[in-house]
Chains A and B, each alone.
Chain A
Amino acid sequence: MFLALKEIRKEKLRSGLIIAMIVLISYLIFILTSLALGLARENTDALDAWGVDSVTLNANANVDMRQSLITPAQAGPLSADEAYIGQASVVAKAKGHAKLSAVFIGLKASQFVARDLKLTRGHRPTTAHELVVDTSLADAGHELGDTLKLNADPKPYTIVGFTAHAKMNIAPVLYGQLAAWQTLKDLMPGPIASAIVSRDAGYRAKDRALQTYSLKTFINKLPGYSAQNMTFELMIGFLMVISLIVIAVFLYILTMQKLPNYAVLRAQGLPSRVLVGATVSQSLLLVAAGLVLGTALTVITAVAMPASVPMAFDVPVLALVGVGLLAMALVGGLIPVRSVLRVDPVSVIGG
């Protein structure tokens, strides 16, 4: 540590350049992680809010709630741990506002999903043309009592409440009644819902026309969800590897330049562990400094970023990413260690 600190202090420009690169890489990784997390959450926020363990869909719906229809006969009797969900993709129109693509979720007022809905303002729908909507609509200027026209339904829907974190497939959720869902889907009498959600992990649909999926399976099958996450994971992984290469290459060059000095120190009896410790701690110190600055930039970004940008700055996740970068620094610092261990003090004898 002593040698590492002294070298960093003396070689300010060289250390500064390495730190600058770590700052940029860590900042990019933090932002990408936050973006990945934000987008992932905007896919699943509503599902997470319901607190369910499984989703039952029509077996022919290809694990897509939008394609699923369930009849009362298929559903059979439900316990207090199950609830109907009617999903419809809608376009919401309101005077003075741009058209908004949204997800309509029809609920049965007596079931737990509707009952447990946490409102930030207003009340739950009491008629088929009342809505509880995501707070992003409030951020966009909508107020309680405002009306929205959904799809081709000529009768407007009135906003009677707001709820936070109501996002699904990166679109705001508009909660209403199942009757409204049937209207919006233009369904003939028959289907009662798109899905049955359950907070009982052991629930299985009895009808063979239905299939029950774990929440994790259902989420992974959300349109584009897995592909999007894999893309981000790949980018973050590549950046981790790039950071490892940058650290290893810089340290290797720096270490090679110091080998004659190290050979003299070895001749004088300084143990290899001191020199190895200097190399590894130099790597960790440079990356730690880069991470601190990268984190500061990320915090500034988080404060300045508009709420509409789908980014989630989750401290434990970002801390884990930081630990990952430190691990890369450790690995990168170990690569030149082999050269340090092979320093031959005899090489400095005899000019």
Chain B
Amino acid sequence: MSVLTLQHVDQVFGTGSARVQVLHDVSFAAEPGELSLIVGPSGSGKSTFLTIAGGLLTPTSGTVTVAGQTYSDRTQKARDRLRLESIGFVLQAYHLLPYLTVADQFKLVDRVKRTGNLDAAALQALLRQLGIDQLKHKFPAELSGGQQQRVAIARALYPDPAIVLADEPTAALDSPRVQVVGQLFQALARERGKAVVIVTHDVRLDPFADHVFEMQDGTLTQRA
């Protein structure tokens, strides 16, 4: 069963002569255990797709369903809750809170979502898998860019979401590091059963994907 679906989604910004249709009749489904890539050039509508898929923007028309619940029917508070419980965002800019240690980044989640988060053993296993289990007491400023990215991934996965949405996770990485990140997201899908959706213009991630979708001028098509 799909954990994230977009059905006939249109997104229009502006009115009159300033009217721009960014998404045209986009339909998409993400399945647990699968990694989907959304690729396309800059300005093709990838980020708007991600924003709508993540429940941060209500589409002009169409339906978005997350874990069986329709976003547009919900209040802002309920959307926040649904995002917190069901979606893990991995963003291009990590923006880890600079005054929280790696361990405290997870404690912050505990304060707003008290149940359903990874237990201590599962978190330790995740951190080990990401190669950052020795960094729990470090502050973000003491970490390299790659380590910060992995902490951001762990933070996104800590509430044990069904869906992981990643925005250009390899934008600033060299090829060996792209391989590591690609393998990591692939493992999240295959070993942890997450529905992973990566928005990127980086074709180096293609080998890790179960499905590749191309976004071109706001239209989404699945590559054969």
Contacts and interface: CB of A to CB of B under 8 A. Distances in A.
Contacts of B104: 6
Contacts of B112: 269-271, 274
B168 A271 contact: no
Given A267-B54, A346-B56, A350-B167, A261 B96 contact: yes
Interface stretch (B74-82, B175-183, B184-192, B210-218): B74-82
A268 B95 CA distance: 12
A271 B51 contact: no
B77 A349 contact: no
Contacts, number: 90
Nearest to A270: B112
Nearest to B88: A268
A179 B97 CA distance: 80
B84 A349 contact: no
Nearest to A258: B97
Contacts of A345: 56
Interface in B88-137: 88-89, 91-100, 104, 107-109, 111-112
B30 interface: no
B91 A10 contact: no
B97 A349 contact: no
A206 B131 CA distance: 96
A269 B100 contact: no
Contacts of A260: 93, 95
A267 B167 CA distance: 12
Interface in A110-124: none
B87 interface: yes
Nearest to B96: A261
Given A2-B111, A261-B96, A267-B91, A349 B80 contact: no
7 tightest CB-CB pairs across the interface, nearest first?
A269-B84, A350-B47, A269-B83, A10-B99, A264-B95, A7-B99, A351-B92
Interface of B: 46-47, 50-51, 54, 56-57, 77, 80-85, 87-89, 91-100, 104, 107-109, 111-112, 139, 155-156, 167-168, 171
Interface of A: 2-3, 6-7, 9-11, 258, 260-261, 263-271, 274, 345-346, 348-351
